[in-house]
Amino acid sequence: MVLSEKILSAGRGALFLTALSTLSQLLGFGYRVALSRLAGAEVMGLYQLIMPVYSVLLSLTAVGVTAAASNLTAQYLALGDRRGAAQALSTCLRIFALLALPVGAAVALASDAISVHLLGDARTRLGLILLVPCVAFTGVENMHKHVFYGAGLVRPPAIVELLEQLVRTGAVLSLLALFLPQWPERVVGLIVSGMVICEIFSSCALVVLYRRRVARTGLSGPGEAGRVRRRRVWAIALPVGLNALLGNLLGAANATLIPQKLVEGGMERSDAVSQFGVVCGMTLPMLSLPIVFLGAINLVLVPRLARAYTLKRPQEVRRLLSQALSAVSVLSLPALAVMVVLGPDLGRAMFGQAGVGEYLIPLAITTAMGCYCSILASALNGIGGQRAVAVISLLGGGVQLIFTLALVPLPGVGMAGYVAGALAANALELLLCLGWAVRRAGLRLEPFRWLAAPGLAALLSGLCANLLFRVLKDSGLSPLWGALAALPFSLVLYLAALQAQGVRLREALRLEW
């Protein structure tokens, strides 16, 4: 894979990824709506209980070596060493296998104890066992995917990811349609079985595409001694993996404790799991729908930051980071503002749950801060700040856990305590990440460009969209048609407000990265 190969510029690559990610997210959102209606809030709550375990298993086995594969691919190819890039992937795959085998065996053997004593619900056991093969295939898929991104090749993994979403949707919904009704434990098992099917597809597809690519381009360059290569892999993988592990452990503890603490506050177990499923399995995914571009920006940004850092170009590092923050502001703030307006009605219409819109405003603010944190953390990982990211993530997770323990059990507080913790944790992480980026990368703060201009424009468009939406509903128009009418109006108003403040959308996005 030749670095100088002009497949896509960074900006065009981000747009391509965003377009496919948008389509994939729309498919995924439709899948989640159908899944929620078929399975119900209680099963969604059980499913949300096991997903943090999935994240913990990935952080134990794959997250660190995946980051190493991506960063080292970018660094080797920046120096024209294709052989070194291929060797780095082989080393990462071997390390992943050595980690995944004992971890998977331990989870399968201890699944009963984990489901009962750690997750607090025996109905999660079948899903836990089926997570083991899912993690194995996901690790292989992610490493090959991020090698492509590290090499600047966005098309193959993006297309495979879209097809993966189609396979997941078809597999899970087909299994549910064939075998429902079932006990909640078996329904969770059916959902995870569908995930395994789609991971098998995507991992096999990416391996084939990678091998075909290597066969066409060949291997050139000196490569690197195994001992040196392994040391470089571990230097990246350990802090990134530890960061992910600690963060996901805190996330898993938080997810496990929420239903338990709700029960302590006087709620029935089934109601507690259902409310947890509504907030974390419906409301948060609905808010993630407008920020489909974030993953694309991260995937394009990190390899370029790694190359600029390797080639000792600090000015380019600062420019890329500032541009990414500007793009996040311009794209995320209006999308979340409109979702706050339309979310309650859309949530009731799609999920059939009245509580979907209950915490939309604070969760939208949390999501916006999470977007900035994601970009800053990815940037710090790309320029050698993995340890700082690990510490910051740990502090944020600790704050969230403290709020859950202290506030969720209080009568009359409940899930509001979790939401308050999410706000506090994300605010702390954002401040720390921003401060570290200023010190580490020499980033100059641009509050007007990053926050004031897009924030005021988003607020104006959101308020006006809310007024128009209410008027249309009061006149007898359905929420769906009212939303479709309010969206273009709010978009035009947002662009006009940006222009009035002297901010041009093209310059804010700066496609010529």
Q: Residue 170: what pLDDT?
A: 92
Token pair of 151 as six digits: 């090499």
Mean pLDDT of 255-283: 81
User: Does the structure show a pLDDT above 90 at 193?
Assistant: yes
Mean pLDDT of 167-194: 90
The candidate with the shortest Cα–Cα distance to 38, out of 163, 162, 182, 166, is 182
Backbone angles phi, psi at 32, to 5 degrees: -70, -35
User: Does the structure show a pLDDT above 70 at 294?
Assistant: no
Q: If pLDDT is split at 50, 70 and 90, which confidence band does 8 have?
A: very low
Q: Residue 100: what pLDDT?
A: 93
Q: Residue 21: what pLDDT?
A: 67
More confident residue, 276 or 110: 110
User: Does the structure show a pLDDT above 70 at 296?
Assistant: no
Q: Residue 348: what pLDDT?
A: 74
The angle at the Cα of 270, spanning 268 to 271, to the nearest 5 degrees, equals 65
Residue 186 CA: distances (Å) to CA of 192, 416, 447: 10, 31, 50
C-alpha to C-alpha distance for 99 and 119, rounded to whole angstroms: 23
The angle at the Cα of 322, spanning 339 to 450, to the nearest 5 degrees, equals 40
Q: If pLDDT is split at 50, 70 and 90, which confidence band does 445 have?
A: confident
More confident residue, 350 or 105: 105
C-alpha to C-alpha distance for 29 and 359, rounded to whole angstroms: 19
The candidate with the shortest Cα–Cα distance to 98, out of 47, 60, 146, is 60
Tens digits of residue pLDDT in 117-170:
888 888 889 999 999 999 999 999 999 998 988 887 878 888 888 899 899 999
C-alpha to C-alpha distance for 480 and 483, rounded to whole angstroms: 5
Cβ-based neighbour number of residue 98 at 10 Å: 11
More confident residue, 11 or 203: 203
Q: Residue 135: what pLDDT?
A: 94
Tens digits of residue pLDDT in 352-397:
666 677 788 888 888 888 888 888 887 777 677 767 877 888 888 8
User: Does the structure show a pLDDT above 70 at 12?
Assistant: no
Mean pLDDT of 180-208: 92
C-alpha to C-alpha distance for 470 and 342, rounded to whole angstroms: 10
* CB burial string 356-366: b at 16+ within 10 A, e below: bbbbbeebbbb
Q: Residue 299: what pLDDT?
A: 62
The candidate with the shortest Cα–Cα distance to 152, out of 68, 92, 229, 77, is 77
C-alpha to C-alpha distance for 292 and 327, rounded to whole angstroms: 13
User: Does the structure show a pLDDT above 60 at 314?
Assistant: yes
Q: Residue 295: what pLDDT?
A: 64
The candidate with the shortest Cα–Cα distance to 245, out of 114, 109, 65, 80, is 65
Extents of the domains making up the chain: 10-509
Tens digits of residue pLDDT in 30-77:
887 788 888 887 888 888 888 888 989 998 999 889 988 888 888 888
Token pair of 442 as six digits: 């020499």
Q: How far apart are the first and last CA of the chain?
A: 21
Mean pLDDT of 479-504: 83
Q: Residue 131: what pLDDT?
A: 93
Q: Residue 17: what pLDDT?
A: 61
* Cis amide linkage into residue 102, ω under 30° from 0: no
Classify residue 399 as exposed, middle or buried by CB count within 10 Å of its CB (0-12, 13-18, 19+): buried
Q: Residue 504: what pLDDT?
A: 72
Q: What is the DSSP code (8-state) at residue 444?
A: P
Q: Residue 175: what pLDDT?
A: 93
User: Does the structure show a pLDDT above 90 at 105?
Assistant: yes
The candidate with the shortest Cα–Cα distance to 280, out of 378, 342, 351, is 351
The candidate with the shortest Cα–Cα distance to 376, out of 312, 330, 314, 435, is 435
Instruction: Give residue for tokens 């990368």.
Output: 441
More confident residue, 318 or 416: 416
Average pLDDT of the residues of the chain: 82
User: Does the structure show a pLDDT above 60 at 11?
Assistant: no
Please tell me the least confidently modeled range out of 147-161, 223-237, 280-294, 419-433.
280-294
Mean pLDDT of 305-331: 77
Instruction: Give residue for tokens 């309010």.
Output: 486
Token pair of 118 as six digits: 């750690």
Residue 498 CA: distances (Å) to CA of 133, 177, 291, 323, 492: 48, 47, 19, 17, 10
Q: Residue 155: what pLDDT?
A: 80
Q: Which residues 6+ apart lie within 8 Å of 52 measured at CB?
A: 248, 251, 252, 254, 255, 256
The answer to whether the beta carbons of residues 346 and 282 sit under 8 Å apart is: no
